[in-house]
Amino acid sequence: MFKIVEKRRLAEAIYLTRVEAPRIARSAKPGQFIIVRCDENSERIPLTIADYDAEAGTITMVTQALGVSTRKIVAKEVGESFADVAGPLGRPSDFTAESIEELKSRRIVFIGGGVGTAPVYPQVKWLAERGVEVDVIVGAKSRDMLIYREEMERVATNLYIATDDGSEGFHGLVTALLEKLITEDGKHYDMCVAIGPMIMMKFVTLTARKFDLPCIVSLNALMVDGTGMCGACRVKIAGKTKFTCVDGPEFNAYDVDFDEAMRRQSMYRDQEQRALAIAREREAGHKCNIGLDK
């Protein structure tokens, strides 16, 4: 069993959960993910590792409660346990295999959108601990939906905030802020890493292309079983079929077929919404009679 030692609400329907998992904490690297199962009857949920502490033996995940299973995850309280937490899975970020001197000679900008800000954090933290200067752009719909701001301020060389409604920082999308930093503020970057909603990553890629800026994206949102066996996370990368959970989750952004990835991401939307409707009716004490197992 994997005991919960900390739980915090970060924003509406977004929660941080820190769990005792010493073996995973000792082995984890930036970019990797875990599979979480609430109890024996729960489905397997892949979640990117938002932080890890080898000394304390804990890992951190950030979950947005959108469906039945993620709602079960965030309903767990401190002192309770998850039935299973498996990992670390997936390939670590490529930069973890590069020389530190090479990394110090480059200027990297990370872009986190919404919940995607959480998996950006361990990457920036890893680089900062090794003396690599990193700029970070964090985007959200509004000030109330910003997460990991204080954590990111501690590890980023420069932190830039963008909100859709202008309630905090730059008024506009992260793509517009990236373009402003380069064209108006004189910033030069050698690499961009973007993690967030698929549509955001697509347009970050298009913006980066304008400046011949190498770009990496994480397709973690596509994963289902996390082992490559279900095939749900297959995507076209440079015209070849790849599996996000075993070949990624990070890929060269210019190789990704985003349109196909977005179609695949929406494949199970109807089933997810139907399952959520059933769960809500059960919670309200109503009897469900729409032909699904109860």
pLDDT at residue number 263? 83
Where in the sequence of the chain do the CATH 2.40.30.10 domains occur?
A: 2-89
Give the C-alpha distances (Å, rounded to integers) separating 226 from 43, 69, 223, 252.
Answer: 12, 15, 6, 20
pLDDT < 70 positions in the chain: 222-231, 265-294
Q: Where in the chain is the domain with CATH 3.40.50.80?
A: 95-218
* pLDDT score for 285: 62
Instruction: With beta carbons less than 8 A apart as the criterion, state whether 107 and 133 touch.
Output: yes
Structure tokens at 39: 């109890």
Q: Give the pLDDT score at 216.
A: 97
Cα–Cα distance list, 146 to 48, 51, 118, 189 (Å): 18, 17, 10, 24
Q: How far is 145 from 248, CA to CA, in rounded Å?
A: 27
Cβ atoms of 79 and 19 closer than 8 Å? no
Q: What is the pLDDT of residue 268?
A: 56
Model pLDDT, residue 212 = 97
What is the pTM for the complete model shown? 0.87
Which H/E stretch holds residue 125?
Answer: helix 117-129
CA distance 161 to 174: 8
Task: Extract the tokens encoding 147.
Answer: 């997460």
Residue pair 243/231 in contact by the 8 Å Cβ criterion? yes
Query: pLDDT (tens digit, 9 = 90+) per residue, 236-262?
Result: 899 998 888 888 899 999 999 988 888
The fold adopted by the segment(s) 95-218 is Rossmann fold (3.40.50)
What pLDDT, on the 0 to 100 scale, is given for residue 294? 37
Q: What is the CATH number of domain 2-89?
A: 2.40.30.10
pLDDT at position 229: 67
Strands (DSSP E) contained in the chain are 2-11, 14-20, 33-37, 45-53, 58-64, 81-82, 84-89, 108-113, 134-140, 158-163, 170-171, 191-195, 215-218, 234-237, 240-243, 250-252
